Structure 1
Amino acid sequence: MKNRDSIIRYYKSGDNGALAARLIDLADSAVKGRPYTVSEFVTPGAVQIGETINAHVSSLFLRTDGGYKGAERVKLCFVRDDYDGPVPTDITACRITWDARYRLLGHRDVLGALMSLGIDRSRFGDIIMHEDGAVILTDTALFPYLQQHLEKIAMVSVTVSEVPLTSIPPRQEKVKEIKTTVASLRLDAVVSSGFGISRTKAAEAIKGERVRVNWQPAKGPAQEVGAGAVISLRGKGRMELVEITGTSRKGRTGILLKRYM
């Protein structure tokens, strides 16, 4: 496709050049004759790459499917504009249950159990936690393997069953609005205010590659961020810099943040 090299070069600066190349190859397969192509499960950052690719190919349109409304990790579908048939994404909802007394099991425990089985992260999507279990959106072909091999999570016995995708309610996130001021729009200052940690710890997290901006690795504590930036801190969640509200009398910059709990 045209602009292939420039797209890869742009995303390579954020360590996503290889992913951009794979998605371009996927789109090219549809351009060259396949009615549609479907990716593995990808992050919201990969969706941005898919949208960039789609903007350069007029004969395709982009769909996303994570198994339920509001899914964060989804599959990308590049579909020819002259094709109006079904686009199967082969997603199954896998219900994991355990004794309700073990409520300390969390998202990290479930994710760790899946990774310990040698399952690549691209084979499954969102993990939705409940008090007595979780629902994992997986490749349909992976489900029998999970039924056979996923027996325990953090030493707690679990059972695996399939549930209809239609039984999963739309994702609803708790949002906390934060109106504050910062000395500047440097990333470390915004991370400090939004996540309630010291600026020193914010800088350490950024240098430790625990912070992402718009799903790309942060460039450094001094990186400037603007309205619309989505910032995530591993272990703390993510937030959006919604608006720059002005300058205070003391010269500080007012910002409005939305933190997703």
Structure 2
Amino acid sequence: MSDREKILRYYRTSGEDQLAVKLLDAADAVLRNRKYKVVEFLDPFGYTIAETIIAHYDRLQLITNGGYLGAERQKAAFVHKDFLGKEEFMISALLVSWDSRYYHISHRDILGAFMGLGIKRETIGDIIMLGDSSQIVVDSSMASYIMQNLTSVGSATVTIKEISLDEIRPREEKIKEIRTTVASLRVDVIAAAGFGVSRSKMADEIVADKVKINWQQAKSSSHLIKEGDVISMRGRGRIEVSEIFGQTKKGRISILLKRVI
């Protein structure tokens, strides 16, 4: 079995084989042209697929760029080691503004407005909320289209302009530590403790495809969580399982969660 087939078989079980095919095709193209190939924005899980692939291609290297230092969503470039030029990632930044006295706009609202324009998620990088505005990293090929067509977000009229990548303000994340004990390491139990909802409510959210584990859709409430895993919930942010300390005298498991708020 070839390395390509092994990689596809592995990711087929998680339903991510389509992305794996796209990344493998990009890597194969670089082997042929001995230059480089940039793929669209990847979330952290997509990046792990790219890392898995690059480990099997000793003549290639992997370079990423999300527009600013610390970006969560990044473009990945497969670069042939013989290529001596400079990679062009084609990344632009837009500033969307509105009157915050009358409208409250969320990350989800911004993303929904983009989807309403028929823009694919893969062409959008990070969306950084700033109160009365939002800085959005996008594929450069979409910048003009967005500026011409994005006139409102929900019921709010917005203005939009292009800014330099140097003007991007890295996201300010506040971390809340949660020390607690749980009955088990099931995802519904851990997530319920981290997000402050009931276990039954969390089970419903998982069924509704609103919960991800390490940026991959949670498929079952019984999925066991390990130290270092990141659980995200649509509209509620994310938590990291920072430490698992072991069992208490009462048989519960002591854990430390870090919730991004």
Instruction: Report the TM-score when normalising by structure 2.
Output: 0.95
Which stretches in structure 2 are left out of the alignment for 5+ residues? none
Q: Is the 8 A contact 1:74 1:125 kept in 2?
A: yes
Superposition pairs of residues 220-239 of structure 1, within 5 angstroms? 220-239=220-239
Match of 1:42 in 2: 42
Following superposition, the deviation at residue 88 of structure 1 comes to: 0.8
Following superposition, the deviation at residue 248 of structure 1 comes to: 0.3
Following superposition, the deviation at residue 170 of structure 1 comes to: 3.0
> CA 1:103–1:238 in 2, change beyond 3 Å: closer, same or farther?
same
- SS at 1:42 equivalent: coil
Amino acid at match of 1:149: N
Match of 1:138 in 2: 138
Which stretches in structure 1 are left out of the alignment for 5+ residues? none
Following superposition, the deviation at residue 2 of structure 1 comes to: 4.0
Q: Is the 8 A contact 2:228 2:243 kept in 1?
A: yes
Q: Is the 8 A contact 2:75 2:89 kept in 1?
A: yes
Q: Is the 8 A contact 1:247 1:254 kept in 2?
A: yes
Amino acid at match of 1:135: Q
- SS at 1:95 equivalent: strand
- SS at 1:178 equivalent: strand
Distance 1:205 1:157 in 2: 32
Distance 1:114 1:182 in 2: 39
Distance 1:153 1:187 in 2: 34
Give per-residue Cα distances to partners, 1:41-81, cap 9 Å, x unaligned: 12111001011111111111111111111111111111112
Distance 2:61 2:102 in 1: 45
Instruction: Report the TM-score when normalising by structure 1.
Output: 0.95
Aligned residues: 261
Match of 1:208 in 2: 208
Distance 2:46 2:210 in 1: 18
Give per-residue Cα distances to partners, 1:77-127, cap 9 Å, x unaligned: 111122232111111111112224234122122111111111111111111
Q: Is the 8 A contact 1:103 1:131 kept in 2?
A: no
> CA 1:102–1:89 in 2, change beyond 3 Å: closer, same or farther?
farther
